[in-house]
Chain A
Amino acid sequence: MTEEGASATPASVLIADDDRDIRDLVAFKLEQAGFDVLVASDGADALEAIRQRQPAVAILDVMMPRLSGMDVLSAVRAEPALQGVRVILLTARSRDVDVDVGFASGADDYVIKPFSPRELLHRVNSLLSRSP
């Protein structure tokens, strides 16, 4: 998959963030690149969407209402059926220890806010290209 467009069957990507600006911007950028985009505004909805649709990549904000991104990540990693879901944490938590905890909890990538939408798209593509 390239930045400009998806293959015949577009991969699905979930963006979960309680900030409408970020949610809309990431969704716009992903749709522009040809992905099938799922959107959630809190952790509980995100987990439900992941269980139902099993997106190829889930981009999770860490601090969300109802369930945090870390809680969603833990739940995803605990369910054998969801092992194929790649997770990118998108968060304002920028300390080294936060990044360490994110990766130790099973995140495939970690993007710090303020973020570059273009760079985030590259990370999604990179994860997909590494998928089995």
Chain B
Amino acid sequence: VNASADPIGRHVIVAAVLVVACAAIGLAVATIVGRFVRLRRERAEAARLDRVRPLVVRVAGGDDAEARDALLAFGRRDRETAQLAVANMLAKVRGGAADELVGLLEQMSAVSAAVDDLTSRSAVRRARAARLLGLTRDPQHARRLVALLADRDGTVRIVALGAIEMLGDPGSAREVLAAASARGAALPAMEVAETLLAMGTTIGPALFDGLADGDPAVRHVAAVVAGLGLFHSAAEPLRRLLADDPSLVVRAASATALGRVGDERDVDALAAATATGQPRLLRHAAAAALGEQGRPQPLAPLEGLLDDGDRRLAEIAAAALERLGPPGLAILARAAERTRGPSPAAWTLARRELVRHRTPPESRTAP
């Protein structure tokens, strides 16, 4: 551009440069001011926390009316910080200390506020309220939290599930199990399983219904819980699922569960599930389950897997034989001698020897 021939164009360029420069300076100033404000807010919050924490510690440490009164006399902001500090402490204690802190939250009206917040438009408030109600470990909040399993926000659903786990209320078992369904909340299987396991052994009837549910995701969770929770009375439905469930994941979970709650009658079915041609996931689960049986019957089928073309399956079989004790170890020793080289059997024995040398002599178990 010839500047002398085109003064208007030059002015436009200068103006544009000025506008961009002003915008850049404005942005920099806004960033600096924003950081300053955030830093000040964080420092003020940290100072408030330093004021309230010692009082919260005193309340958790025993019946301290003076500390409780001081916390209750705080203004709105300090009180919000105190509620946060109480909730954080509550997650770490139980017994009398937890009772003291829950009592304090009730006196602060934080529990009733949390109940109101369960229907807040803000997902953050709903999640925070759910966590607080879970921390109270008061089963009367179970119904409210179960309703939140259908929340439109996924994070709220997960937090509600964790809160129900803290309550450990067996009356919520059916709804929690249903939350694993792909047609419902579709919550992660292991999270749902952990929540159910926290409810104790009275969830049996809900669990049996779950094993017969039309949704494979629900059957899967029910099978996992039946095994981990040692529900021996679930062995029969688990056998049916292992034999003919249309879902591979359910069959594999049933095999794993039968390793823990089954008996010698299950060895043949589990061995058949490790056969060549069966899906890899099922073969692995069944081989590991055979090692959980604690009886000599699985020795032969497991020995046959040590030379399998699926290296991982051979490793699982070796680990299973190790768990079966001296007869399994003898098979591993023979296999290691036969194959010579880094076979799964040799590797398992070498690892075992290494562990034995690292374990204090007095805590070693029999070979």
Contact status B57-A114, CB under 8 Å: no
* Shortest beta-carbon distance from B227 to chain A in Å: 15
Interface residues of B, dominant DSSP: helix
Given A32-B61, A32-B62 in contact, is the A114-B96 Cβ separation under 8 Å? no
Contact status B53-A113, CB under 8 Å: no
Total interface residues on B, using CB and 8 Å? 21
Q: Which of A22, A115, A117, A119 has the most CB of B within 10 A?
A: A117
- Please, how many angstroms separate the alpha-carbon atoms of A104 and B365 in the complex? 11
Given A24-B54, A25-B60, A25-B61 in contact, is the A117-B93 Cβ separation under 8 Å? yes
* Shortest beta-carbon distance from B62 to chain A in Å: 7
- Please, how many angstroms separate the alpha-carbon atoms of A123 and B16 in the complex? 75
Contact status B57-A118, CB under 8 Å: no
- A19: chain B residues at CB < 8 Å are 92
Contact status A114-B93, CB under 8 Å: yes
Identify the closest chain B residue to A114 (Cβ).
B94
Contact status A117-B60, CB under 8 Å: yes
Total interface residues on A, using CB and 8 Å? 19
Can you list 5 residue pairs at the A/B interface with Cβ under 8 Å? A25-B89, A29-B62, A104-B359, A115-B95, A118-B97
Q: Does B360 have its Cβ within 8 Å of any Cβ on chain A?
A: yes
* Shortest beta-carbon distance from A74 to chain B in Å: 9
- Please, how many angstroms separate the alpha-carbon atoms of A16 and B92 in the complex? 15
Q: Does B91 have its Cβ within 8 Å of any Cβ on chain A?
A: yes
Which B residues form the contact surface with A (CB < 8 A)?
Answer: 53-54, 57-58, 60-62, 88-89, 91-98, 359-360, 362-363
* Shortest beta-carbon distance from B66 to chain A in Å: 14
Among all A-B residue pairs, the 7 with the closest Cβ atoms: A116-B95, A104-B363, A28-B61, A114-B94, A24-B57, A29-B61, A117-B97
- B89: chain A residues at CB < 8 Å are 21, 25
Given A25-B57, A105-B360 in contact, is the A119-B95 Cβ separation under 8 Å? yes
Contact status A118-B92, CB under 8 Å: no
Given A21-B88, A32-B62 in contact, is the A116-B93 Cβ separation under 8 Å? yes
Contact status A28-B57, CB under 8 Å: yes
- B62: chain A residues at CB < 8 Å are 29, 32
Contact status A116-B61, CB under 8 Å: no
